[in-house]
Amino acid sequence: MALAALGTVVLDCPDPRALAEFYAEVLGGTVEADDTGRWVDLKLPDGRTLAFQAAPGHVPPKWPAAGDSQQFHLDLVVEDMDAAERGVLALGATALDAEDRSRGWRVYADPAGHPFCLCAC
C-alpha cells in the first residue's frame, strides 16, 4: 500500500516567473503567480502542475556531479498526515521541519538527503 500520491514537483530558482515561462514554452500550459511572485504554478494541459519557488541565493545545480545538490523537492499529497509521517520515518526519512502541526505540510529529507514535503490533501 502506498503512503502518498505525487502532488506537485517544485523547482527552487531565483526567478520563478521566468523559469515558469520557459517551461510553459517547452511544455505548454498557463502560468499563474501568487501575489508575492515567490510562488508560480505552471498549469499543464493534462491537468498536472509544475511549480516554481523563489530561492534567494540560489546556486544552479550541476549535473552530473555527485557533490552538488539537484535543488528540487517533491510535494507528496497524503490523506493521513500522521500515518504518512510514521511511514516515511520508518522507511529512513529524516524530519527537517515537521514540528509545526498547524500547517498543511511537513518537510523531510529522503535517505539520500533530498527534501520533500508531506502535504494534506
pLDDT in tens, 19-77: 999 999 989 999 999 999 899 999 999 999 999 999 988 887 766 677 776 667 889 99
Q: Report pLDDT for 42.
A: 97
| Cell numbers for 105 | 505540510
In this structure, the number of other CB atoms found within 10 A of the CB of residue 39 comes to 16
Q: Is 3:82 a contact under the CB 8 Å cutoff?
A: no
Higher pLDDT, 86 or 61: 86
Dihedral angle at the C-alpha atoms of 45, 27, 40, 102, nearest 10 degrees?
Answer: 60
Percent of the chain with pLDDT over 90: 63
- pLDDT at residue 90 tops 70: yes
Q: Report pLDDT for 63.
A: 65
**Which position has the grid cell 535543488?**
71
Q: Report pLDDT for 102.
A: 85
Average pLDDT, the chain: 89
Residue 84: band (very low, low, confident or very high) from pLDDT cuts 50, 70, 90 = very high
Name the DSSP letter for residue 80. -
Q: Report pLDDT for 69.
A: 67
Q: Is 24:17 a contact under the CB 8 Å cutoff?
A: no
Q: Report pLDDT for 64.
A: 65
- pLDDT at residue 80 tops 80: yes
Q: Supply the Cα-derived Rg of the chain in whole angstroms.
A: 15
Higher pLDDT, 1 or 65: 1
Q: In sequence order, which ranges of 28-107 are alpha helices (DSSP H)?
A: 81-90
Q: Is 115:100 a contact under the CB 8 Å cutoff?
A: no
Q: Which CATH superfamily is domain 5-120 in?
A: 2,3-Dihydroxybiphenyl 1,2-Dioxygenase, domain 1 (3.10.180.10)
